[in-house]
């Protein structure tokens, strides 16, 4: 099993930056800042507060990352971004689908690497 440090290294190697999220000086989760190949900024917020999970526990981190990927679908990402007029002007539906499909595959490759 990997350490959190190793997991964060894998995430950063995939051009995703991460920040700890704290409330009242208590670590509550992580914000992962990523970009699709098309240049769309995607923020993945892994929130450990409501789940009674420990953000410093490797297994909890992996489960939360997996849950985020599985619950925020390609369709969700496209629908969310297409609410922005500039995005609609810059990306056709076909381009959006291609871009977010590649992004989803990237996240799933990361999940596979961190789960080993």
pLDDT, mean over the chain: 96
pLDDT at 1: 83
| Euclidean distance between CA atoms 69 and 93, whole angstroms | 21
Domain that holds residue 55: 4-115
pLDDT by residue (tens digit) across 50-85? Answer: 878 999 999 999 999 999 999 999 999 999 999 999
**DSSP state, residue 72:** S
pTM of the shown model: 0.92
| Euclidean distance between CA atoms 27 and 18, whole angstroms | 13
pLDDT at 52: 82
Once rounded to an integer, what is the mean pLDDT over residues 14-20? 97
Number of compact structural domains in the chain: 1
| Euclidean distance between CA atoms 1 and 97, whole angstroms | 34
Once rounded to an integer, what is the mean pLDDT over residues 33-39? 98
| Euclidean distance between CA atoms 93 and 88, whole angstroms | 8
| Euclidean distance between CA atoms 45 and 92, whole angstroms | 26
Q: How many CB atoms lie within 10 A of CB 33?
A: 13
């Amino acid at each position: 099993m990997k350490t959190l440090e190793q997991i964060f290294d894998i995430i950063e190697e995939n051009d995703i930056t991460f920040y700890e999220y704290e409330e009242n000086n208590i670590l509550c989760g992580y914000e992962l800042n990523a970009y699709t190949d098309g240049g769309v900024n995607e923020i993945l917020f892994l929130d450990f507060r409501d789940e009674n999970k420990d953000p410093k526990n490797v297994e909890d981190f992996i489960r939360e990352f997996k849950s985020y990927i599985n619950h925020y679908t390609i369709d969700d990402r496209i629908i969310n971004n297409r609410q922005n007029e500039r995005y609609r002007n810059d990306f056709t539906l076909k381009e959006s689908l291609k871009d977010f499909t590649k992004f989803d595959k990237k996240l799933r490759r990361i999940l596979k690497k961190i789960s080993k």
